[in-house]
Amino acid sequence: MRLVFIGECMVEIAPDGAAFRKGFAGDTFNMAWYARQLCPQEWGVDFVSAIGADAISDELAAFMDTAGVGTAHVQRHADRTVGLYMISLKDGERSFSYWRSQSAARRVADDPTLLDAAFDGADVVCLSGITIAVLEGAGRDNLAAALERFRAGGGRVAFDPNIRPRLWESVDSMRSEVMRFAALSDIVLASFDDEATYFGDATPLETLHRYQGIGVAQIIVKNGPDPVLGTLNGETVTFEPEPVRRVVDSTAAGDSFNAGFLVSALSGAGMSQSIAAGAALSREVIQHAGALSDEAVAAQKLFK
C-alpha cells in the first residue's frame, strides 16, 4: 500500500514555561505522521508539499525523514519558505497566530506533471480543505484535474473538508470549492461542528446526506465526543466514542482519527472497525499535549 498526503506543514512555536519550543505540524502532515506510525513497515507514506531552500526548510525535511514520512515529492521553492504559527496561552485557553500568506506550500500544485508523478502508484491520495484553501493561481484547477486522472487510473481520494474561513477569499468560494473537491472524492471525513456552522446542517445525518447527494461513496461524520456516523454505499453505522475524563489538548483529534481510519480501512477492516480505530487513536491523542504524540501512538491498542 502507498498513502499520499498533500498539503502544508508549518513551523509550530509553542509556549514552554517562559520560553518557546519549536515543532512542526499541519493537518495533512499530522495525518501522514500518524499513518506512518500505525501502518505496516512495508507500506509507503509520502507527504507532498512545497518548502523553501533555507535552513528551517531543511530542518522540516529532516524531521519528516526521521519520522519515516517520504519526502521524494516535496518541492523546493528557493524564493519562499515554510509557514509558521504561534500558540498563545491565556488562562489555560490556547489561541493561534499564523504567518503563512507567502508559504511555499501555496505553490505545491503549480506544476501538473509533478502532481501526476507524486500520485503515481498511490492507493489513496488524501487532502483537506486547508490544502485547497492555500493554493495560489491555477493550483486548485491543476489539483482537481490531477485527482481526476488519478481516480481514472483506479486510485482513491480521501478528503477532510477542515473548513477554515480565514484562509479563503470568501465564504461562498469556500463552500463551492469544498463541495467541488468532495465531489472528486471517494471518502469524505467531515467534522460536524464545521459543517453545521458553514453549511447550516442541523444534524450529522444532514451532513452525510449533503455529501451523499453529490455522489460520495463513503462519508464519515466526526462529532467530538458525540457519535460518529459512517456510510458506505448506502449502509450507515453509528459509533459511540468511549468518553475521555480529561481532554488535555484537542489539537489533531480529527487528523489522527483520519489516519487511524484510513490505515485500518486499507488493511481490510470494515467500516465500523475502521471508525473504531480512528476513534481509539484520537481518544489517546487528545489526552496528550501537542499535535504529534508518540505517547498517544504507544498508548492506543487497536493496531498492536
Residues that are catalytic: 255
Q: Which stretch binds ligand ADP (CB under 6 A): 4-12, 37-45, 137-145, 252-260?
A: 252-260
Report the C-alpha gap between 109 and 126 in whole angstroms: 14
Beta-bridge mates of residue 86: 13, 97
- 30 scored as a contact of ligand ADP (CB under 6 A): no
- 229 scored as a contact of ligand ADP (CB under 6 A): no
Give me the 148-187 binding string for ligand ADP, x by CB under 6 A, dash otherwise.
----------------------------------------
Which of 58, 225, 238, 294 contacts ligand ADP by CB under 6 A? 225
Q: How many residues at the interface with ligand ADP, by CB under 6 A? A: 18
Which of 127, 228, 259, 277 contacts ligand ADP by CB under 6 A? 228
Q: Where are the alpha helices (DSSP H) in the chain?
A: 27-38, 55-67, 112-119, 129-133, 139-152, 171-183, 192-199, 204-213, 253-266, 271-285, 294-299
- 276 scored as a contact of ligand ADP (CB under 6 A): no
154 Cβ contact partners less than 8 Å away, ≥ 6 residues apart: none
CA atoms in the 13 A half-sphere facing the CB of 23: 18
Phi, psi for 64 (deg, rounded to 5):
-65, -45
Minimum CB distance to ligand ADP, residue 192 (Å): 7
- Residue 95, helix vs strand vs coil: strand
- 288 scored as a contact of ligand ADP (CB under 6 A): no
Q: Look up cell 524564493; give the residue.
A: 79
- 224 scored as a contact of ligand ADP (CB under 6 A): yes
- 247 scored as a contact of ligand ADP (CB under 6 A): yes
- 112 scored as a contact of ligand ADP (CB under 6 A): no
Contacts with ligand ADP by CB under 6 A lie at: 191, 193, 222-225, 228, 241, 243-244, 247, 253-254, 257, 279, 282-283, 286
